[in-house]
């Protein structure tokens, strides 16, 4: 690795999909080899169309946060082999790629690892655009795992 890259801090966007789990497993393999620190980031979108019809957005956020915490308990066994404890942040977001890029910049993240999720043909354009937004917003390298 060149002198310009330090992968000791790895950020993994995590939403409990099979792709996100593959991204986490790849990040764990890398972190073991380089003694890196992994941070999972989960973005809960706050300005989706559905949120306009919710009565209490705070309760909805807490409900989604609880679901995410339960999922993290499910993967806890897999992450015990890491030398450094896994960190996790849950953030409200109006647009996940921006939130991820801002977090990576503010916390001096060295690498973002994303697991690719199988998508339907009708979702391809949406996911391509999301990846492009993330690529444009990040100043650090990104690894996309198939």
Backbone angles phi, psi at 61, to 5 degrees: -60, -45
- Rounded to the nearest 10°, the torsion over CA 44, 49, 55, 57 is 20
Q: How many domains does the structure of the chain reveal?
A: 1
Residue 1 belongs to a domain: no
Residue 58 belongs to a domain: yes
Residue 106 belongs to a domain: yes
Residue 82 belongs to a domain: yes
Q: Give the pLDDT of the chain (146 residues) as one tens digit per residue.
A: 444 567 889 999 998 888 888 999 999 999 999 999 999 999 988 765 455 555 566 677 788 888 888 888 888 777 877 888 899 999 999 889 999 999 999 999 999 999 887 766 766 666 667 778 888 889 999 998 98
pLDDT at residue number 107? 97
Q: What is the pLDDT of residues 1-28, one digit of tens each?
A: 444 567 889 999 998 888 888 999 999 9
Residue 114 belongs to a domain: yes
Residue 15 belongs to a domain: yes
What is the domain-level CATH number for residue 108?
3.40.50.620
Q: Is 14 helix (H, G, I), strand (E, B) or coil?
A: coil
Domain containing 141 equals: 9-145
Residue 3 belongs to a domain: no
State the pTM of this model: 0.82
């Amino acid at each position: 690795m060149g002198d310009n890259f330090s992968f000791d801090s790895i950020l993994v966007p995590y939403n409990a999909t099979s792709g996100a789990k593959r991204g986490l497993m790849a990040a764990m393999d890398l972190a073991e080899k380089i003694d890196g620190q992994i941070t999972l980031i989960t973005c809960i979108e706050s300005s989706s169309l559905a949120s306009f019809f919710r009565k209490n957005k705070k309760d909805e956020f807490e409900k989604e946060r609880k679901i995410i915490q339960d999922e993290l308990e499910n993967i806890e066994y897999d992450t015990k082999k890491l030398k450094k404890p896994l960190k996790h942040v849950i953030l409200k977001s109006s647009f996940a790629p921006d939130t991820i890029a801002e977090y990576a910049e503010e916390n001096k993240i060295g690498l973002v690892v994303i697991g690719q999720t199988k998508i339907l043909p009708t979702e391809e354009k949406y996911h391509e655009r999301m990846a492009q937004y993330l690529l444009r917003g990040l100043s650090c390298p990104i690894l996309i795992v198939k």
